[in-house]
């Protein structure tokens, strides 16, 4: 007994209609389709691409090992110098110059030059300009990641602040301990300078994320845009004002203000996994 369904009849009718229209006839691919497929193909063979990927991975591992060695070896030597009571380069410099003379030089440089009102004004203006430019460039280079981190900051402000406060505390403690070991040897002094510079990169990123969140708050969009707009530039300018204004009182206090501004942004970066995870 043969069962013939309505679906089979519809399928046969559809095939006949396609055959009459010529849709089932084989056709040669068009030129633009072939060109687009060729553009998507890799320019090298899979074997060469695999070799290049393996070479890049090996170079990355070698660079990581070299960086760790450059950091660990001077730190270990500095720890041995401190345990043996060997005079450190900074201690030798202080004993040579004399503690009183060194203190007088520092006080003269800070009290008579940096604390002068004629110097504080351009320093504050320069600090404001540099912070605005750094924030705008960071938001321009990483628009989506900074936007995701900024939305995370707005969604969970207290958790991000707590996480950022703990993170920056651990960062300061770790860097201070590492600098103590690195500055105990002469070879560790340039590495210590590099460590200080690299340690401030999370602070710069945190300030940029805080400015991103402030820009979203100023824009009042239901779905914050990823592109850099005037609200983000205005937020960067507003967020740079506290440190610039505190500069008129004390320059070291201005650095403390920058750290405080970076705390919620660092926490947002951690919770959003560097701007890769959207918080819902």
Cβ–Cβ contacts within 10 Å for residue 191, how many? 20
Give the largest Cα separation in the chain, rounded.
113
Whether residue 80 has pLDDT greater than 70: yes
* Burial bucket for residue 4 (CB in 10 Å: 0-12, 13-18, 19+): exposed
Q: Is the pTM of this model over 0.85?
A: no
Tens digit of each residue's pLDDT (9 = 90 or more) over 156-210? 889 999 999 999 999 889 888 888 888 887 777 888 888 888 888 888 899 999 9
Tens digit of each residue's pLDDT (9 = 90 or more) over 98-136? 555 555 555 555 554 544 556 677 777 888 888 888 888
Element (H, E) at 112: none
Tokens standing for residue 24: 């089932």
* Contact predicate 150/209, CB 8 Å: yes
């Amino acid at each position: 007994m043969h069962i013939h369904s309505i679906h089979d009849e519809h399928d046969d009718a559809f095939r006949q209609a396609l055959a009459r229209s010529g849709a089932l006839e084989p056709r040669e691919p068009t030129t633009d389709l072939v060109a687009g497929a060729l553009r998507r193909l890799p320019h090298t063979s899979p074997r060469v691409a695999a070799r290049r990927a393996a070479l890049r991975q090996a170079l990355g591992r070698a660079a990581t090992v070299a960086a760790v060695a450059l950091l660990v070896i001077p730190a270990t030597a500095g720890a041995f110098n401190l345990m043996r009571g060997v005079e450190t380069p900074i201690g030798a410099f202080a004993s040579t110059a004399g503690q009183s003379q060194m203190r007088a030089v520092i006080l003269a440089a800070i009290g008579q030059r940096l604390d002068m009102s004629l110097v504080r004004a351009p320093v504050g203006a320069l600090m404001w300009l540099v912070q605005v430019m750094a924030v705008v460039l960071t938001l321009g280079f990483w628009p989506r990641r900074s936007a995701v981190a900024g939305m995370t900051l707005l969604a969970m402000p207290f958790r991000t602040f707590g996480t950022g406060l703990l993170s920056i505390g651990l960062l300061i403690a770790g860097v201070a301990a590492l600098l103590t070991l690195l500055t105990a040897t002469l070879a560790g002094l340039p590495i210590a300078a590099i460590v200080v510079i690299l340690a401030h990169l999370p602070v710069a990123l945190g300030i940029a994320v805080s400015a991103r969140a402030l820009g979203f708050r100023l824009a009042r969009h239901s779905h914050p845009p990823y592109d850099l707009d005037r609200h983000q530039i205005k937020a960067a300018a507003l967020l740079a004002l506290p440190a610039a204004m505190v500069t008129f009182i004390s320059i070291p206090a201005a650095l403390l203000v920058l750290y405080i501004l970076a705390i919620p942004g660092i926490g947002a970066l951690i919770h959003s996994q560097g701007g890769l995870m959207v918080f819902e």
